[in-house]
Amino acid sequence: MARNKKCITVNLKSERGCEIVHDLIGKSDVLLENFRPGMMEKFGLAPSRFHVSHPELVYTRVSGYGQTGPNSERPGFASACEGYGGFRYINGYPDQAPVRPNLSIGDTLAAMNAVIGTLIAIQGIAKSGKGQVVDVSIYESVFGMLEGVVPEFDGAGVIREPSGTTVTGISPTNTYVCRDNKFVVIGGNGDSIFKRLCAAMDRNDLGNDERLFDNAGRVEYQPELDSAIETWTKTMTSVEVLAALDVAGVPNGPINSVADMMKDEHFQARGMFEEVNIDGKRTLKVPAMVPKLSDTPGETRTAGPTELGASNKEIFEGLLGLSPDFIEELQRDGVI
């Protein structure tokens, strides 16, 4: 998470600290902040302060509920925002408590939206000559994933419910257990794909059943179809199932753990792992950067700072031109 980053410390409760941050912002293309809405204003660092002095600044703000609205000042944790934004409601199994994925997916989605919004704003400078504020919220980032949930409700009054390992309105697409107790994903929901799946299972009776010729019919008989598919997968190992589906041209995939991914030849061929040096004592594998660019691929140059303020001298001297004596004074006064 901290690769290639610098780490400085500044006490924003002090006037001098806020002025240092103001000077740093003046030398930056983008400011990214994720304080609770209103905090940057209290520090005297609101976007309006830079409209004249730094008109090209892109000011990206990430919060739980956005910069406006009645919930804007609520603390924005991914767990709460995933529920508020509708994701948790449809994630899990019917008649059970909603399931949390073992990741802070709301944070990651908000980060991606912040990147997208920032890049759009940077592109806009070429036309307008001005930067702008990018207002990103975690709950809206989650809400943006909901595909057809809103029009389904508005147009048909349907509330999409949790559906376990299936997807509402599409069949068959599910996760199935194999003889070796490993799970595989099978996406057999296209009309022609379904026929190929049935042939691979030696179940042409299903492939030729007129009730199952289209998705609507397969959805109606989804439990029976899933049962038939799992009866087949349980007769073979996961490797055998995936190989048979590859031959048949049916979309499929394993359920990989991190150990599986680390030894997978495709991950290796795509260079999905990099090694970084930790304090000159050991190396550690980290995910490689994506997306992959042909001319300017990203790389991990440093593992990131290991302690707060590790880059104070470099940034305050090199970027702001502060003298070593003045930096020592700021440290004594608790400003940095």
DSSP one-letter string for 146-166: -TTHHHHHHHH-------TTS
Q: Which residue has the tokens 């397969």?
A: 218
Beta-bridged to residue 278, according to DSSP, are 282
3-class state of residue 291 by DSSP: coil
Instruction: Mention every residue, 6+ apart, whose C-beta is less than 8 A from residue 70.
Output: none
E-strand spans in the chain?
30-33, 58-63, 133-137, 173-177, 183-187, 252-254, 273-278, 282-287
CB 285 within 8 A of CB 258: no
Distance CA 1, CA 9 (A): 18
* 107 belongs to the catalytic site: yes
CB 219 within 8 A of CB 163: no
CB 242 within 8 A of CB 186: no
CB 6 within 8 A of CB 314: yes
Q: Which residue has the tokens 């609507």?
A: 216
3-class state of residue 90 by DSSP: helix
When computed from its CA atoms, the radius of gyration of the chain, rounded to whole angstroms, is 26
How many CA atoms, within 13 angstroms, populate the side-chain half-sphere of residue 34?
15
- Residue 50: how many other CB atoms lie within 10 Å: 19
Catalytic one among 23, 95, 107, 226? 107
Pairing of strands 183-187, 252-254: antiparallel
Catalytic positions:
107
